[in-house]
Structure 1
C-alpha cells in the first residue's frame, strides 16, 4: 500500500468518531478450579490468557464475558473497551496486542480483514454461520441491529405515525413550521455511522435526496451519536429522531412511555458488530475458543437475552433476534453487506462527492415547502 493511501486513510479515520478520553477495562482472573459443572477442565482449555479489544460498552459486554469465563475459569480474561477509532488506531500500531477485535465500524473491520490481518476460524459454528453474516471465515457479524426512527407519542397523536420513509417525508414537508428545530439525525460530516448510512440509503432509495432536503427544510439538528438523539427525545427537545441505532434505542424506549420506536416498513438498514482474530494474536487457541463461543447458540443466547443486541444464530427466535425481526419486517430489512462496497466509505473522492451533495440538498432553498 502506498504512503499516500496511508495518509488519506489516516485523515479519514479522524472523521469517524471522537476518541474516548480514557478506555475502560474489565479483568476476570483465572481461578484454580472449575466453578460450575459445565466449566472446562481440560488443561489446554482451562489455562492461559485471552485479551479482547472491543468498541462495545462494558455493561453490555459484561454478561457475555462472565458467561464465557464461567465456562473457562482457568483463563485470565481481559477486556478493553475503546471507541471505534481508538480501537482501529491501536490495532494498526500494535497488531499483536489483542486476541479478538470487535467493532461496529464495519468499513474499518472489513478493511483490516481484507488487508490480511484476520486469521481463519475453521470450526463447525464458523462453517455453519450464515453466508451473509461473514466474509470468508475470517470476519464474522455477531449482532443484528436495525437502524430506526424514534418519535414522541404526542407527535403521532397530532400528525399520525410515520411508519416508513415516504410518510416521514410527507410529515416533514407538510408541517415544517411545527417541526422547526424539533427533528434530529446524524451529521454525516462528523459521524462515521451517519456517513455510512448516507451512502447506503443513497444507493437504496431514489427519494433519499428528497428526504435530506426535507430535513434541511425543518432545520433538523445534526449530531454525532445515537445517545445525543435519545437524550433530546427523552427531554422533549426533539419530536422525531431519524436513523438511530436500534439496539440502544430499544432500551430507552422500553423505559419511556412518551417514546415510540419505529422500524420503517419500506426499508430499514441493519448494522452489525464485526469480530475477527488477528493473525498475530498472542493467544490464538483461546482466541479461537472465544470467537467460536460468540458464534455458538450458547453465546448468542446470552447476547440475545442479557444484552440489547440482536442475535443472528438461526436457532434463536426471541425478541430482537434476526429471525424474529425478519418475520415481522420481512424484506424491508437490509443488512449492510460484508463486501468491498464497504471500502467506498474510505475513499476520499467518493466521500467528498457524497458530502457535497448532502450539504447542497440539506441547504437547498425551498420557496414552496408544502406539496
Structure 2
C-alpha cells in the first residue's frame, strides 16, 4: 500500500470511528471490533484536544479491540466539576490542572495501580501509585520575527523584561498572556514563577505598562498571534504551540534559557470507576514504552518514559536544556495553589503590579 493509500485508509478509519462535536462537548467513540461484547467498555474524561488524544486511543484499541472506548474532551474546570457531581461516570481522568488532580487523589478519590509498569514509573512523575504524570510540556513564549528583527533576540525572561521596559510604547496592546484571575493554568504558572524568579513582579509590571491583553487559553493566544493582532505571547503551552505553528514561519517559539516551567498532564483512576479493569489497562498503556512511544512520535506532548530518548521526549529536552527546566513538582505543594487566602493575596498583588 503506497503512502497516499495509507492516508486515505486512515481518514476512512477515523470517519468510521465516529468523531462528533456537539457544542463544547467533543467526543471520540471507538466501537469494539471483537471480543467480550457490549459490557466491555472504557470511558475517559480528559482536558486534551482531540488531535492529540486520537493517536493514543487508536494505539490502545489496536491492542484491545474488544473494548469500546469513549473519550470526552472537557475544559479542566468542567472535568473537575463533572467528576465531583458524578464520581462514578468516568473510568479515567486526564488533566493538565495539576493542583485539582492532586487534590482529588489526596482526598481519596483515586484508586491504586499496582502493575509492574506503575512500580517502575519515575518517582518524580507519580504520587504514590494513584496519580501519574504522562507528559512533559514546557511553557514557552512566542515572538513574531518582526520584533526580533527590530529589537533583537528574545531568549529568556530577562530579555522579555528588557524588551517590555524599553519598548512598551511600541508594543501597546500587542502582547498577550494568561489572565491568572480567570485561568487555572495562568494562576498556576503565576504562583510558580513568583516562587522561582525574584524579578517576576517586575515582569508583571512591565506587561501592564505594555497594556498586555489577558486571555483564558493558549488557543486564544495562538489565534491572535497567527492573525497578527499580537506580536509577543507569554506563557503558552508549548505542546499546543508546536502543533499549531508548524506552518507559521513568522512566529518563533522560544523555550526560555534562564528558566522554563514544565507542566505535566496527570492521569488517575477514580475509586468508583464503572470499568476498573479497563481503566487499569488504559493507564498501564499510557505509561508503557509502547504508549509513550506513540505519544513521542505522533503528538507534541513530550514522553516521560525513561527508555525513550529521541525527539519528543523528556530525556532529549533535559539534555538540551539542562538545569533551566523547572518541572512543577507533583506533591503537597500543589495544594497551596488552591488555598483561598493565598490565591486572594497573589491575585491582589498581581493586579496591583499589572495596573499602571
What TM-score do you get using the length of structure 2 for normalisation? 0.91
Preserved CA contact (<8 Å) 1:172 1:215: yes
CA displacement at 1:21 relative to structure 2: 4.7
User: Of 106, 112, 118, which residue of structure 2 is paired with 1:114?
Assistant: 106
Preserved CA contact (<8 Å) 2:174 2:229: yes
User: Please, what is the CA RMSD of the aligned residues?
Assistant: 1.6
User: Of 350, 353, 356, which residue of structure 2 is paired with 1:358?
Assistant: 350
Write out the 4+ residue segments of structure 1 that deviate beyond 4 Å after TM superposition: none
Query: Could you list the runs of 5+ residues in structure 1 that have no partner in the other structure?
Result: 1-19, 34-42, 365-371
What TM-score do you get using the length of structure 1 for normalisation? 0.88
Aligned to 1:288: 280
- Does the residue aligned with 1:184 lie in a helix, a strand or coil? strand
Aligned to 2:170: 178
CA displacement at 1:187 relative to structure 2: 0.8
- Does the residue aligned with 2:353 lie in a helix, a strand or coil? helix
Aligned to 1:322: 314
Q: Deviations over 1:183-206 (max 9, x none)?
A: 111111111111110000000000
Preserved CA contact (<8 Å) 1:47 1:74: no
Report matched runs for 1:101-250 at 5 Å.
Answer: 101-250=93-242
Aligned to 2:52: 60
**Alignment of 1:31 onto 2:33:** yes
CA displacement at 1:47 relative to structure 2: 7.4
Inter-partner Cα distance in structure 1 for 2:42 and 2:184: 29
Inter-partner Cα distance in structure 2 for 1:22 and 1:206: 39
Inter-partner Cα distance in structure 2 for 1:165 and 1:262: 10
Inter-partner Cα distance in structure 1 for 2:50 and 2:241: 17
Query: Could you list the runs of 5+ residues in structure 2 that have no partner in the other structure?
Result: 1-21
Inter-partner Cα distance in structure 1 for 2:300 and 2:128: 27
- Does the residue aligned with 1:319 lie in a helix, a strand or coil? coil
Report matched runs for 1:229-308 at 5 Å.
Answer: 229-308=221-300
Inter-partner Cα distance in structure 1 for 2:335 and 2:125: 17
Give the count of matched residue pairs: 335
CA displacement at 1:247 relative to structure 2: 0.3
- Does the residue aligned with 1:254 lie in a helix, a strand or coil? coil
Aligned to 2:335: 343
Q: Deviations over 1:222-257 (max 9, x none)?
A: 111111111111121111110000001112222111
Inter-partner Cα distance in structure 1 for 2:342 and 2:23: 31
